[in-house]
Amino acid sequence: DAKTTQPNSMESNEEEPVHLPCNHSTISGTDYIHWYRQLPSQGPEYVIHGLTSNVNNRMASLAIAEDRKSSTLILHRATLRDAAVYYCILESNAGGTSYGKLTFGQGTILTVHP
CB of residue 12 to another protein, shortest distance in Å: 23
Neighbouring-strand partners of residue 38: 85
The nearer residue to another protein, 7 or 44, going by C-beta atoms, is: 44
Element of type H or E holding 22 = strand 18-23
Say how far apart CA 68 and CA 31 lie, in whole Å.
10
Q: Between residue 4 and residue 43, which ones bind another protein under the rule CB under 8 A? A: 32, 36, 41-43
Quick check: 52 binds another protein (CB under 8 A)?
A: no
Extended strands (E) in 54-105: 55-56, 61-64, 70-75, 84-91
Nearer to another protein, 81 or 114 (CB): 81
Report the interface residues with another protein, using CB under 8 A: 32, 36, 41-46, 87, 91, 93, 97-106
